Structure 1
Amino acid sequence: MAPYRVEPGGLTLHLRVTPNAGLDRIEGFETRDDGHEVLRLRVKAVPDKGKANAAVIVLLAKALGTSKSQISVVSGDTARQKTVFIAGDPGILAAAVAKLI
């Protein structure tokens, strides 16, 4: 199962985030024990008052070539497992996510 789902007006991306890491980076796709795939991210920000979520949005925006305002956390605000929605052309976004491997 792919870590993203094409939606009208964008795509939904499933993440596994590790906050308080040494540096911000995208580690690639990972298959979880339940068979679902997620995109693994590490961010330097601490998980306090949305700082880690903001760092995730900045990292994804840079990697996908979109603006920060096009990305929003739709579930998992306080969890390591997150789902984000990225607004834009679904075909272009899916191709950009595929390049993150």
Structure 2
Amino acid sequence: MTDPWRTSTTGLSIALRVTPRGGRDGIDGIEQLSDGRSVLKVRVRAIADGGEANRAVLALLAKSLGVPKASVSLLSGATSRLKQIAVEGDPARLCEALRQLAEAKSKA
């Protein structure tokens, strides 16, 4: 399975599948979609109304990756479960942090 993120010179872009009203805020590992793409599974307590879930996802990723909230932005998928998120920062450090978060969940 491939990683659901791509690096760039300024950071990385992450493919997500978001579950709003998921009971808790958390990262649930990596999943392969039926079309073969890999996504990072994320759940948030917020409802998908007025962008609340999107804001919760951005805050969760910023906290989990140890970057300021201003470094995380929504690229696409504002009204979809499938989203593309951009994270600014050191690509190598961000990739390692994501890998550790995803592995911790897949072993649990």
TM-score (norm 2): 0.90
Matched letter for residue 6 of structure 1: T
Give the 3-state SS of the residue equivalent to 2:3 in structure 1.
coil
Structure 2 segments unaligned to the other structure (5+ residues): 103-108
Aligned to 2:71: 70
Q: How far does the alpha carbon of each residue in 1:71-97 deviate from its partner, in whole angstroms, 9 at most, with x for none?
A: 000000010000000001111111111
CA RMSD for the aligned pairs?
0.7
Aligned to 2:86: 85
> Residue 47 in 1 paired to residue 48 in 2?
yes
CA shift, 1:20, in A, is 1.2
CA shift, 1:33, in A, is 0.8
> Residue 95 in 1 paired to residue 64 in 2?
no
Matched letter for residue 64 of structure 2: A
Give the 3-state SS of the residue equivalent to 2:31 in structure 1.
strand
> Residue 29 in 1 paired to residue 30 in 2?
yes
Q: How far does the alpha carbon of each residue in 1:28-82 deviate from its partner, in whole angstroms, 9 at most, with x for none?
A: 0001111111000110101111100000011111111111110000000010000
> Residue 8 in 1 paired to residue 40 in 2?
no
CA shift, 1:7, in A, is 1.0
Aligned to 2:59: 58
Q: Deviating runs (4+, > 6 A) in structure 1?
A: none
Query: What is the total number of aligned residue pairs between the two structures?
Result: 101
Give the 3-state SS of the residue equivalent to 1:100 in structure 2.
helix
Contact 1:3 1:13 survives alignment (8 Å): yes
